[in-house]
Amino acid sequence: MSLAADPSTRPSRRRRLPTGVRAKLFAYALVAPVVLLIIGLVAYPFFFAIYVSFTDQVVGSVGKFIGFANFVYLSKSATFTAAIWNTVIIVLVSDGLKLLIGLGLALLVHQAIPGRGIFRSFLMLPWAMPAFVAFLTWRVLYQPIGGGINLVLTGTGIYPHVVDWLGQRQTAMGSVIAASVWRGFPFWFISILAALQSVPKDLYEAAHIDGANAWKRFWVVTVPGIRQVVIVTTLLSSIWTANGFEHVWLLTAGGPSDATMVFPVLAYFGMQTQRVGEAAAVSVAMLPILAILVIFATSLMMRDED
């Protein structure tokens, strides 16, 4: 309205078009439903989970406050220790591999080669597949009977013996990681590819003219150009992998004998056996590490915004 009165006003960052109380009320009314739902469905449950982790609540009872007893109990539990270690290993190894594979393939597809569009489409496929479908399929692939991996390995003579990939301790973790890399690398691939495409071409040409070889150009131009995206992707992917449930649940359900147990699956088992307080404590115990990752990611993503 003020603009109609003074059309010469240059729109600046500080001056938004509608001013006054009505505009403010309108803005609050628009944002209110999402804010209220998030407070009710995310913020309240979040603090409720922390509260419950300090009680001995079981399903159908209120439970009483027992201090740190759940955490003390967990710290003595071998399964919980295994879950922590396995979660750390899965995050480090599978996200490391996703970074390497995603970056490598993005660099290959980023070249001006014929057919790159087709390669890109194919490489995105695992991401388009629902996670539960992907991990159920891998479960079948790993089977000693009816599984494609054993069939190919014995058929081609690469490895002559049938392996129960998910059923033995030595191979279970590697198998879970391989499946989760298969399903997860396209996210990295697409993010890094988009970042590569946003690096200005003349930077490469300038470096070329300055006599930088391909290796040098990679470190001087490519790496700084994609660093921010790689950092944010690393943080997000680590948070999602650490909290991932499907990949372990559908492949091994944490077995054999806790070899692939991770904390979301352990928390789910706690819920299945109705010990709500303990189950909540499993998740809450992971909170400090996750909080660090989340705060890092949030501040980076907010900085991108401005």
Partner 1 sequence: MATLTATIPLAKSKAGQRLRRRFLIGRVLSYAALAIAVLLVLFPIYWMIITSLKLPREIYRVPSLWPKTFTLDNYSKLLSDGQFLIAIRNSLIVSFTVTIISVIISSFAAYSMVRFRYRFRGFVGRLILFAYLTPGSLLFIPLSIIMAQLRLGNSLFGLIMVYLTFSLPLSTWLLQGYFKGVPREVEEQGLIDGLSRIGVLFRIVLPLSAPGIAAVAIFTFTGAWNELLLALVLITSESQRTAPLALNYLITSDVLPWGPLMAGAVISSLPLMILYFVAQRFMVAGLADGSVKG
Q: Which of residues 135-154 bind partner 1 (CB under 8 A)?
A: 136-141, 143, 145-148, 151-152
DSSP letter, residue 255: -
H helices present in the chain, as ranges? 2-5, 20-38, 44-52, 69-75, 78-110, 116-128, 131-141, 148-156, 169-197, 201-209, 214-217, 223-242, 246-251, 263-272, 276-285, 287-305
Least separation in angstroms between CB 282 and partner 1 = 9
The residue among 81 and 143 lying less far from partner 1, judged by its C-beta, is: 143
Q: Which lies closer to partner 1 via its Cβ, residue 113 or residue 158? A: 113
Q: Which of 80, 84, 94, 186 contacts partner 1 by CB under 8 A?
A: 186
Whether the CB-CB separation of 236 and 297 falls below 8 Å is answered with: yes
Positive or negative: CA dihedral 46, 48, 52, 57: negative
Give dist(CA 205, CA 211) in Å, integer: 10
Contacts to partner 1 from residues 243-272, by CB under 8 A:
243, 245-246, 249-250, 263-264, 267-268, 271
Q: Can you name the residues that pair with 214 across neighbouring β-strands?
A: none
Over the window 65 to 104, marking each residue x when it contacts partner 1 by CB under 8 A and - when it does not, the resulting string is ------------------------------------x--x
Site string for partner 1, 3-42 (x = CB under 8 A): xx------x--x-xxx----xx-xxx-xx-xxx-xxx-xx
Query: 116-128 and 78-110 helices cross at what angle (nearest 10)?
Result: 160
Build a one-symbol-per-residue string for 114-133: x at contacts with partner 1 by CB under 8 A, - elsewhere: -----x-xxxxxxxxxxxxx
Q: Is 206 in the site for partner 1 (CB under 8 A)?
A: no
111 binds partner 1 (CB under 8 A): yes
Quick note: the x/- pattern for partner 1 over 207-246, rule CB under 8 A, is: -x-----------------------xx--xx-xx-xx-xx
- Shortest gap between Cβ of 74 and partner 1 (angstroms)? 14
Residue 270: CB atoms within 10 Å: 20
205 binds partner 1 (CB under 8 A): yes
Sign of the dihedral defined by the CA atoms of residues 71, 274, 254, 101, in that order: negative
Residue 84 Cβ vs partner 1, minimum distance, rounded to whole Å: 13
Question: Cα–chain-centroid distance for residue 114?
Answer: 32
